[in-house]
Amino acid sequence: MGTTGSDIAAVLMPLALLLIAAHVVGHQFAMLGQPRVIGEIAGGLLLGPTVLGAVAPEFQSSLFPDGGDTAAVLGWTYQLGLLLLMFCSGAEMRALFSRSEARVVGFVTVIGVAIPFTVGVLSLRFVDASSLMGDAHSRGAVIVVFSLAIAITSIPVISRILLDLGVIETSFARVVLGVAVLEDAVVYVVLAATLGAVGTEQFGVPAALGLSPASTTGLVFHVAATLAVFACMLCAGARGFSWLRRQRWNLLVRSNPLAFQLLFLFASTLTCLMLGVTPIFGAFLAGIAVSADGPASFGRARESIKSFSFAFFVPVYFAMVGEQLDLVRHLDLLFLGWFVVLACIVKATSVFVGARLAGESSRGARNLAIATNARGGPCIVLASVTFGAGLISAEFFSALVMLAILTSMMAGTLLGRAVRSGQPLRDAPTPRRALTSPGRRRRAADRAQGTSPLS
């Protein structure tokens, strides 16, 4: 079947407008000291029903039709952008913190996830969640999404904020990114298990076994499959990738290391699909696996994937998230208000408590609470994936995206003020056991100066 010039134009025009809007508005936000990703969403918002649809509804609907070839191409671009975003996020997950920082990372992660998630679950016991449910009509899925949104921290947004502020090489940045890495791993495990358990489409192994997502057996299978994939990829994914790239019969890796890494991404994604696990989880784990040390050519290949992804696919993905928003019809300001306040207070308080228990100063704990309150990309992924799966309503989707935008902007603004104050973001960690005797204090001072009798 031939493709006409009008068919090509119908695809290229919305893609070009999304790309322009994402980069132009994203650049303007970055110039104002705000996360670029928020500007990319705002750029898409201008092309969606909120702005362009209100001014020229017929033109907007013709640009972004609900069906046909144009919708199919835009949908595939959206999905590929999401997979590449997850792959690049996973590739950043290396050893981010030292042993001396492991204590505070552990305390902040455990308390900063457990308390917000628990509060989220308990909150919906007193709230009518029917307006938050999507076509799947799963109250349990809404509870999980609501609780994850309160507990989540963004790796891409907070790392970009720390880089722009010039503190990415500090101990404070290592702690924040270490917490974000562990929290996001927990979030994606829970999200993958939830999507598999409540999915309506049966494919691969679940379909072959005749497992119903609504059954107890189906739920157990999807949770077990998610955990098994997670454990296998963490334990053997990097070694498997390294083994494959060293084989003589692997002509693809000799021809183009970039193509081989993309093939590994697609293979990991397809494996998850066959097991009934959400594909974004496979892309995320593939990124972790390929981040293992390898030849310099592989590092350059990863950077090439990242560069092109963040030049086209990822900005277009975030712009399409903004284009889907209809803040005129699908934004409940009352719900958004108490949702944002609850999420910020609970997350910040739990992180502050965890940091103080780990020995952080009040200033360091406060700054950690500010930084980890940025939800950004992961919250947007949570919103877009669950909305696309029919788990949440358009109103809840809009609230989740707005939560990501507002908390990321607050984190960037408040951390900028803290940096400009000239005070360190994080003090030197307090020893777990105080030195009370003069002899202990003298020996500690000698060791610090390299004059200890034992040295």
Instruction: Say whether 70 sits in a helix, a strand or coil.
Output: helix
pLDDT value, residue 12? 94
Distances (CA, A) of 219 to 201, 276, 277: 14, 11, 12
Domains along the sequence of the chain with CATH: 97-313+332-420 (1.20.1530.20)
- Note the pLDDT tens digit of each residue in 221-275: 877 888 888 889 888 988 999 899 888 898 998 899 899 999 999 999 999 888 8
390 falls in which pLDDT band (50, 70, 90)? confident
Q: Is the pLDDT of residue 449 over 60?
A: no
319: number of Cβ within 10 Å: 33
Cβ-contact 79, 360 below 8 angstroms: no
412 falls in which pLDDT band (50, 70, 90)? confident
User: Radius of gyration over alpha carbons of the chain, in Å?
Assistant: 23
Mean pLDDT taken over the chain: 82
d(CA 228, CA 223): 9
Cβ-contact 380, 321 below 8 angstroms: yes
Q: Which of 165-169, 247-251, 298-302 has the lowest average pLDDT? A: 165-169
Pick from 20-29, 31-40, 162-171, 206-215 the range whose average pLDDT is largest: 20-29
Cα torsion at 280, 284, 289, 293 (round to 10°)? 140
Q: Which of 13-17, 70-74, 267-271, 283-287 has the lowest average pLDDT? A: 283-287
Q: Which of 31-40, 195-204, 366-375, 379-388 has the lowest average pLDDT? A: 195-204
pLDDT value, residue 280? 80
CB contact set of 166 (below 8 Å; sequence gap of 6+): 419
Percent of the chain with pLDDT over 70: 85
Q: Which of 41-55, 134-148, 160-174 has the lowest average pLDDT? A: 160-174
Mean pLDDT for 370-397 is: 86
Cβ-contact 211, 221 below 8 angstroms: yes
Q: Tally the residues of the chain.
A: 455
pLDDT value, residue 450? 39
pLDDT value, residue 396? 93
Q: Is the pLDDT of residue 403 over 90?
A: yes
Distances (CA, A) of 368 to 160, 211, 452: 16, 44, 35
Strand partners, 392: 133
98 falls in which pLDDT band (50, 70, 90)? low
d(CA 128, CA 140): 13
